[in-house]
């Protein structure tokens, strides 16, 4: 059997915690942007890179306010989150040139939400051929670039005023 070494996997395992014991979406916007991988913060929402991405450039957009209920978002929270979603797709298109995107959210634990108490949208760039045999047979994803390097590429595109 061939072994695939993924040096970040242990950090992911060790950082895992019960979402009821704290919320990364409440904590990360309070940190320095480089440390938290926050690309843009507005008065009501923010966009950050997923530290354990599905694909390079996997972003998440969330309201600053802690809520797990989409219908509880105020109009301004929805507006700003929507603008950050649009900006995310635009910047990813300009910088990484993907062939398409998956954009969506998981509402509730049974739907796959890792933090069901805090809404967040996923923006995942996709390329033709990015779904290969590795996740199926090797139970691993091959990411061609470190998250920090992708952060540096994307951050300039988020400096624009919304």
Instruction: Give catalytic residue positions.
Output: 120
71, two tokens: 């219908």
What's the rounded Cα separation, in Å, for the pair 3 and 121? 33
- Cα–Cα distance, 147 to 50 (Å, whole number): 8
Please provide residue 54's backbone torsions phi and psi, each rounded to the nearest 5 degrees: -75, -40
Those residues whose C-beta lies under 8 Å from the C-beta of residue 26, and which sit 6 or more positions away, are: 66, 118
Distance CA 35, CA 26 (A): 14
Contact 98/125 with Cβ under 8 angstroms?
Answer: yes
| Burial of 153 from C-beta contacts in 10 A (0-12 / 13-18 / 19+) | middle
């Amino acid at each position: 059997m061939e072994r695939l070494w993924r040096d970040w996997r242990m950090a992911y395992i060790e950082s895992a915690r019960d979402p009821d014991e704290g919320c990364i979406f409440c904590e990360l916007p309070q940190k320095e942007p480089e440390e938290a991988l926050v690309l843009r913060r507005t008065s009501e929402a923010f966009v950050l890179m997923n530290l354990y991405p599905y694909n390079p450039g996997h972003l998440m957009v969330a309201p600053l306010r802690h809520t797990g209920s989409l219908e509880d978002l105020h109009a301004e929270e929805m507006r700003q989150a929507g603008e950050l979603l649009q900006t995310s797709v635009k910047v990813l298109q300009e910088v990484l040139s993907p062939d398409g995107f998956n954009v969506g959210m998981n509402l509730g634990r049974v739907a796959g939400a890792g933090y069901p108490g805090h809404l967040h949208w996923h923006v995942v760039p996709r390329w033709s051929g990015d779904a290969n045999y590795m996740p199926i047979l090797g139970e691993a994803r091959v990411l061609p670039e470190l998250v920090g390097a992708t952060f540096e590429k994307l951050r300039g595109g988020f400096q624009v005023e919304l």
